[in-house]
Structure 1
Amino acid sequence: MSSKEKPTLGGTRIKTRKRNITAPLDPATFADAVVQIYLDSAGDLELVVKSIESSDLDFSRYGDTFFEVIFTGCRTQPGTIKADEGDKHPYSVLATEAKREAILPFVLYIQKILRRRPFLIKNLENVMRRFLQSLELFEENERKKLAIFTALTFSQKLSGLPPETVFQPLLKGNLVAKGLVLTFITDFFKEYLKDSNIDELIALLKKGKMEDNMLDFFPTAKRSADGFSEHFSKEGLVSLVEYNQKKMFDIRLKEMKSALNSQIKEETEISEVIENVKQQVRDANMPETDVVRILWDVLMDSVQWSGKNQQQNSNSALRQVKNWAELLNAFCTSGKLELELIYKVQVQCYEDAKLIKLFPEIIRSLYEQDVLAEDTILLWFRKGANPKGRQTFVKSLESFVKWLEEAEEEE
């Protein structure tokens, strides 16, 4: 039996897989086209936006080139900020004045472009990163324009631009060493704080992973807390200086609490503990009232509390007061500081359910250990200013105060 040929349809074409055909890259032609739009619009950014909207330019392919034209007026040579061959327009960010009112329209213009073409945010990141890493290649006036522009992109909430895109590229060793980064970031802070408050600036720095590393903007020789305060005070950024001082104070406070807590748990000699605390107080320039509060907090935090057993809690707290009275005595050196300690005890007993009934016993113990003077206790009893639980605590202390007054009369 002969094999039959399979029937075929005449004139059919066998399909073959097409290869992906890509148009050759031609960023120069794209750049010239965008430049021409600027020239035809005479730099009117509203007209530029309309012309760009009606154009068929391939922004997805040449996004970096597009932002180069916005910043410099032309395409730049690969990996540099030098102008490439081709057309150029005089209406760029770097060609305008180094003033807010001159640069803000460019930020708003870019916002409009990004709303219509959000994919371009990545190209803006690329170009800004490259320019910021090349600060030394710009003139001083151009660096200021970049700083103002960058600050405005954040204060005006330019959509999608991550803060780390700005802050991290600045940390190149040679740029920091020459002081270029410090000058740039100072101009940035000044401009940003015109629209925003210090809390918003700190939140921005936190997103950019720089809140705890602001000294990295400083050349090594100036990288200190005093250098930070001196520089930004001179530049009029007092709110930033105050924030940093508070932050440094909080860090030292935390370190002091941690060290003191360890020494108490290890039952270090009281004399050694006192000297350590005094040294930390001097280093941090810590107010005396804060020291008193810290000491009491740490002492009470170190107590082994026993849940609902009131008597055991009372015994533990009083034992702690007795054991560390010498430490409290070393820093409660005036009636004002003694009164501060009473207020601290009052607030803690008011806010902590397991301590609320211990107030009179603690005050009596502090008196017996010579931490609190009779006059201070009587002053608090008669004229104490803190209202938290005051009526309850005054009533609970009446019998002890009566005893003090009678002893005073006998003397």
Structure 2
Amino acid sequence: MSTKERPTLGGTRIKTRKRNIAIPLDPSSFADAIVQIYLDHAGDLELTAKSIEASDLDFSRYGDTFFEVVFTGGRNQPGTTKPEDGERQPYAVLNCEATRPSILPYVLYIQKIIRRRPFLIKNLENVMRRLLQSLELFDADDRKKLAIFTTLALSQKLSGLPPETVFAALLNDSLVAKGTVLGFCTETFKEYLLENSLDDLISLLKRAKMEDRLVELFPMQKRTPEAFAEHFRKEGLGVLVEYHDKKVFDVKLKELRTSLADQISANADMGEVIETVKSRRKESLLPDVDVVRTVWDALMDAVQWSGKNQQQNVNLALRQVKTWGSLLGEVCTSAKLEMELMYKIQVHCYEDAKLMKLFPEMVRALYDQDVLAEDTILTWFRKGANPKGRQIFAKSLEPFVQWLEEAEEEE
């Protein structure tokens, strides 16, 4: 038997894994430190921003707390506007006057802070969301301050603050029912339009996914076109009413176009299709000119285009006009509407290369069906105002026009 001693681990230290030590949150101390910086500089936002940038405070943990101090002067009790224990500073957004010159410096101040610490944009979103979801807890003056701040923040493109975050917080049934959301948004729109165009506002609403949901700002019982128009016109926002009406109008025309195209594609009865046009026009109060254009678009939508076979496409389009010309005749009830149809066909053939040579044949087909009168065609030929492809189309229509003129002389 061997007498060798077994090896030992003498002199070796066995390492033990240290447990992660969780440092407890202490937002109160952080808030007090921020408040003290404000107080030290008597609310001078330039000096306050420099001190905050130079500090080693843990903004990554207490970003929400920081913005509570910015907006209200200190920490608030959850779900209320009541302050929690601790120091407060009087130089907060909701403590200043409800004017643009008073609030703009705070927007620029926050912009400066976030540029140094970009991650804070998420905390700003969190706090703004909570404030806006608590609108009913603020008085009218404070709600106006929040509206002005929101407007200026979005106008200044505050570090990419997403509009959808702001407006999504407002589409809350209980807030909408109380009317606070409508009042806040109305004030925001008015403030925004002071320095921005309607197109800018519409672009903002599109990014916020609110363009088609404006009526949802109203309590359920007031979601009518009449209530919408009355409210915003009274508030001096008639341009928004006009835009909204046009948007609704465009939707109705699109629905008519889709419905007609489906019926035509299915070879529905002509009387049924005509009845669809009449009923939709009456229900939606659609102008005759737009109905004429929409019926033409529906006819072309329903053509079963055959890809690269150009001649087949031409034949299909012309057959469509000959088959459904009487439908156009139902809506072209005056010389003015006939001229609108001429212009519509002209532009369509100009913009669709495969139909360029088809213009005179379409006009002739509609003349044969008594949709386009002789006077309409001659007036277009002699005085037509739309320049799109006019010279080409006039040249191609010249033989038919000569025939009309000769027939006119004989009579």
TM-score category (smaller protein): over 0.9
Alignment partner, residue 134 of structure 2: 134
Where do 1:110-189 residues align within 5 Å? 110-189=110-189
Q: Secondary structure at the match of 1:291?
A: helix
Alignment partner, residue 303 of structure 2: 303
Q: d(CA) in 1 for partners of 2:147 and 2:335?
A: 53
Label 1:61 to 1:389 Cα distance change in 2 as closer, same or farther (>3 A): closer
* 1:32 and 2:32 correspond: yes
* 1:269 and 2:269 correspond: yes
Q: d(CA) in 1 for partners of 2:157 and 2:354?
A: 49
Label 1:122 to 1:400 Cα distance change in 2 as closer, same or farther (>3 A): closer
Please state how far the C-alpha of 1:5 moved relative to its aligned partner.
5.3
Alignment partner, residue 370 of structure 2: 370
Label 1:293 to 1:106 Cα distance change in 2 as closer, same or farther (>3 A): same
Label 1:314 to 1:161 Cα distance change in 2 as closer, same or farther (>3 A): closer
Q: Secondary structure at the match of 1:268?
A: coil
Alignment partner, residue 87 of structure 1: 87
Label 1:53 to 1:343 Cα distance change in 2 as closer, same or farther (>3 A): closer
Alignment partner, residue 289 of structure 2: 289
Q: d(CA) in 1 for partners of 2:376 and 2:113?
A: 69
Please state how far the C-alpha of 1:388 moved relative to its aligned partner.
2.4
Amino acid at match of 1:340: E
Q: d(CA) in 1 for partners of 2:288 and 2:269?
A: 22
Amino acid at match of 2:292: V
Task: Determine if contact 1:41/1:48 at 8 Å carries over to the other structure.
Answer: yes
Alignment partner, residue 280 of structure 2: 280
Please state how far the C-alpha of 1:313 moved relative to its aligned partner.
4.6
Alignment partner, residue 104 of structure 1: 104
Q: d(CA) in 2 for partners of 1:187 and 1:71?
A: 19
Q: d(CA) in 1 for partners of 2:351 and 2:164?
A: 42
Label 1:407 to 1:99 Cα distance change in 2 as closer, same or farther (>3 A): same
Q: Secondary structure at the match of 1:170?
A: coil
Q: Show CA shifts across 1:311-344 (max 9, x none).
A: 6555434432332222111111111111111122
Q: Show CA shifts across 1:347-368 (max 9, x none).
A: 2223323322222222222111
Alignment partner, residue 355 of structure 1: 355
Counting matched residue pairs gives: 409
Label 1:74 to 1:305 Cα distance change in 2 as closer, same or farther (>3 A): closer
Label 1:350 to 1:78 Cα distance change in 2 as closer, same or farther (>3 A): closer
TM-score (norm 2): 0.92
Q: d(CA) in 1 for partners of 2:303 and 2:67?
A: 63
Alignment partner, residue 234 of structure 2: 234
* 1:398 and 2:387 correspond: no
TM-score (norm 1): 0.92
Gaps of 5+ in 2: none
Please state how far the C-alpha of 1:306 moved relative to its aligned partner.
4.8
Label 1:294 to 1:21 Cα distance change in 2 as closer, same or farther (>3 A): same
Gaps of 5+ in 1: none
Question: Percentage identity across aligned positions?
Answer: 67
Q: Show CA shifts across 1:120-157 (max 9, x none).
A: 22221221111111111111111111111112111111
Please state how far the C-alpha of 1:307 moved relative to its aligned partner.
5.5
* 1:3 and 2:5 correspond: yes
Q: d(CA) in 2 for partners of 1:147 and 1:368?
A: 62
Please state how far the C-alpha of 1:310 moved relative to its aligned partner.
6.3
Amino acid at match of 1:103: I
Q: d(CA) in 1 for partners of 2:226 and 2:129?
A: 30
Please state how far the C-alpha of 1:93 moved relative to its aligned partner.
0.6
Amino acid at match of 1:6: T
